[in-house]
Chains A and B, each alone.
Chain A
Amino acid sequence: MKKFNDNLKLFFSNKLGLIGTVILVGFILVAIFAPQIAPYDPYQRIGVPFGKPSMQNWLGTNDVGQDILSEVIYGTRISLLMGLLSAGVALIIGTIVGLTSGFFGGRIDTVLMRAVDISLVIPMLPLMILLAAFLGPSFWNIVIVIGILSWASPARVIRSQVLTIKNKGYIEAVKATGGKSSYIITKHILPPTLSIIISQLILMSSRAILMESSLSFLGLGDPTQKSWGIILYYAQSRSAFLSDAWIWWILPPGLLITLLVISFAYIGNSLEQIVNPRLRR
């Protein structure tokens, strides 16, 4: 408990971590209370198409007359959820690979780490586009595509943590009393790896949000789900870049994506400094 408090102090002593947390909490609140905060239903036509900002529609309206501010507020939900879910998929795969590879070693390790190397060097965007186009645009397909393209670097981090724990004397002692691999992994390896898994989850969420936005912007997102990326996609396809509309149609979702990505990255980095003492200054 004392250690937990120490870590909490350490976490909040890092200004960036604190800022990231405040921003993220803000986004989470907006996502939860979107129906209460948003002035309109983002799927309802409530004004003229291509409306300029006004007292009724602070950020104007889109090409079909939906309120852009409401779209952006609801978009927080989709973008946040997609980011977390994709990172979750990445971490499930990454954890399984990292644990197996680190714990069992030998041939399995060689094969899995080769796979990690390969997936770290292949250019991500083209592959992502290919996969997304092949699977077709739906919420879960996007989550899965991003997830299976992001497992490699968490797998590697988790593996190295497993390696340091695996060589501790107490693991040997457990083996000597007859402890099976499944027991050792769940009881002795996973608990001290959990904090690293969580910090990786946060870092990967940051990447996943960016990837989702890119995919959506390129028209490979799920058009029925109004994520920030999808808003950008429609804005771009209706030539918002070429008119004044970019100020209220493109800038707000663009800035919010940046802000959310940064807040996750700040939190992830300062968590990583706590769970990975080698990084601590």
Chain B
Amino acid sequence: MNNRYLIEANNLKKTFDTKDGGILKNIKKSRLKVYAVDEVTFKLEPREIIGLIGESGCGKTTTAKILLKLLNVDEGELFYKGENITHFKNRELSEYRKKTQIVFQDPYEFLNPRMNILNIVTEPLLINKQLNSENVKIDKAVEVLESVGLNPAKSFLYRFTHELSGGQRQRVAIARALILRPDLIVADEPTSMLDVSVRAGILNLLLGLKDQYNLSMVFITHDLATAGYMCDRIAVMYKGRIVEIGPKKEIIYNPRHPYTKALVEVAFDLKNFLENKDSFIKDGEVDSYEQNDYCSFEKRCVMMDANCKHDGHHKMQQVGENHFVACCKCEH
């Protein structure tokens, strides 16, 4: 492996056993496997923003947690700067933990309501034993709060999260993620809980920070338009698998996978999509309990036919420069 890439995710797989089913929960038969993340492969260059998009439940958050080593994979490998960290445990991970941070969807959940902003923001320093004195703590907190646009920073230090607006909270969360000077920030739908009016501010902040601190980002969203604004490359996920990945221009102007086409239409021509819905996508619930070896989009695809049902057809095919699709109907 060479060191050109910051992160290489190789064939990541993660299944969950569900135990719901009431009193039957302990009976083997009713145990179902959820294919949360399946054969996910991608590479991330330094200073690159990759978007993970897809509908709710398609495995975006699970992928994020795997990348941050908050979940162990069942199969597959994860490389950081060329080093295989798949099986790293606590101590070996300490360097990686400093260099990768997460920003969650719900800043209220993400910030301990019992701690003031000063303690929230400097907690990563405390955990990594980089706090020597109260003065250092305050200086660092002020510096990082200013860099996320919370001014005057001093006036925020002793407040609690419930006194802040949603946008301010998310800025605090970003400040906290930033204070250890990471290489990678995984942002899991960072604006989906915010008022539309403050979303653009957070997005632009992230873009500015990326330039200022040479960050890479995994940016998770279910909105293609947002992904188009933020990302260099976009990976479209469906039922745990990446079905199409490529430069954002390719994905938006030249989508190949039927699911991507539907997403593009929803984002950029909703009227047409609604009028001709049946030519884009079939209705149906996502059933992540079943997975086959030819197409995860089978049940909702309008192009599905017998030719699709050959094992291996779910593998990625190259259709353009850096543009890959998992659909046998999309080869040239």
Taking beta carbons and an 8 Å cutoff, which residues of A are in contact with B? 168-170, 172-180, 183, 188, 191-192
Judge whether B128 is part of the interface by a CB distance below 8 angstroms.
Answer: yes
Residue of A nearest to B94 (CB): A178
A176 with B112, Cβ < 8 A, contacts A169-B106, A183-B127 known = no
**Do residues A192 and B124 form an inter-chain contact, with CB atoms below 8 A?**
no
CB distance from B111 to the nearest CB of A (A): 6
Give CA–CA (A179, B128) in the complex, Å. 8
Q: Report the nearest A residue to B129, measured CB to CB.
A: A178
Q: Which of B92-129 contact A (CB under 8 A)?
A: 93-94, 97-98, 100-102, 104, 106, 109-112, 114, 123-124, 127-128
Query: Do A169 and B114 contact each other (CB < 8 Å), given the known contacts A176-B101, A177-B127?
Result: no
Shortest C-beta distance, B126 to chain A (Å), equals 9
Sample of 9 further A-B pairs with CB below 8 A, known A177-B180, A178-B93, A178-B127? A169-B104, A173-B102, A173-B111, A176-B97, A177-B97, A178-B94, A178-B98, A179-B123, A192-B114
Q: Is the CB of B110 within 8 A of A176?
A: no
Indicate if B194 sits at the interface (CB-CB under 8 A). no
Interface: B286 (CB within 8 A):
no
Q: How far is the CA of A173 from the CA of B90 in the complex (A)?
A: 15
Which positions 71-106 of chain B face chain A at CB distance < 8 Å?
A: 90, 93-94, 97-98, 100-102, 104, 106
Assess the B110–A169 pair: CB atoms within 8 A: yes
- Most B Cβ at <10 Å: residue of A174, A175, A178, A180: A178
Pairwise interchain contact B70-A175, C-beta atoms closer than 8 A: yes
Contact residue among A170, A177, A188, A192 (Cβ-Cβ distance under 8 Å from B101) = A177
A residues less than 8 Å from B102 (CB atoms): 172-173, 176
CB distance from B14 to the nearest CB of A (A): 16
**B308 at interface by CB-CB < 8 Å:** no
Interface residues of B, Cβ cutoff 8 Å to A: 65, 68, 70, 90, 93-94, 97-98, 100-102, 104, 106, 109-112, 114, 123-124, 127-128, 176, 180
B98 proximity list for chain A (CB < 8 A): 177-178
Asked if A179 and B109 sit within 8 Å, CB to CB, the answer is no
- Report A-chain residues with C-beta under 8 Å of the C-beta of B128: 177-178
- How far does the alpha carbon of A191 sit from the alpha carbon of B114 in the complex, in Å? 9
Complex-state Cα separation, A169 to B169, whole angstroms: 14
Chain A residue contacts of B123, Cβ below 8 A: 174, 177, 179
Enumerate the 6 nearest inter-chain pairs by beta-carbon distance, A residue then B residue, closest first.
A178-B97, A169-B109, A177-B124, A169-B110, A170-B112, A179-B127
Q: Which of A172, A174, A191 contacts B127 (CB 8 A)?
A: A174
* Residues of B close to A172: CB separation below 8 A: 65, 70, 102, 104
Give every chain A residue within 8 A of B112 (Cβ-Cβ). Answer: 168, 170, 188
For the complex, give the distance between the alpha carbons of A231 and B6 in Å: 76
Residue of A nearest to B90 (CB): A180
| Alpha-carbon gap, A228 to B46, bound state (A) | 75
Q: List 26 A-B contacts (CB under 8 A).
A: A168-B109, A168-B112, A169-B106, A169-B109, A170-B109, A170-B110, A170-B111, A170-B112, A172-B65, A172-B102, A172-B104, A173-B102, A173-B176, A176-B70, A176-B100, A176-B101, A177-B128, A178-B93, A178-B94, A178-B98, A178-B128, A179-B123, A180-B127, A183-B127, A191-B114, A192-B114
B146: min CB distance to chain A, Å: 21
A192 to B112, CA, bound (A): 11
Residues of chain A contacted by B100 (CB below 8 angstroms): 176
Residues of B within 8 A of A179 (CB): 123, 127
Chain A residues positioned under 8 Å from B93 (CB to CB): 178
Alpha-carbon separation in the docked complex, A71 to B322 (Å): 90
Bound complex: CA A160 to CA B68 (Å): 27
Within the complex, what minimum Cβ distance (angstroms) separates B191 from chain A?
Answer: 16
By a CB distance below 8 angstroms, the chain B residues around A178 are 93-94, 97-98, 124, 127-128
Contacts of A192 in B (CB 8 A): 114
Query: B111: which A residues are within 8 A, CB to CB?
Result: 170, 173
Q: Note all chain B residues with C-beta closer than 8 A to A175.
A: 70
Give B69's nearest chain A residue, CB to CB: A176
Q: Which residues of A contact B109 (CB under 8 A)?
A: 168-170
CA distance A177 to B97 in the complex (A): 5
- Taking CB atoms, residues of chain A closer than 8 Å to B70 are 172, 175-176
Output the nearest chain A residue to B96 by Cβ-Cβ distance: A178
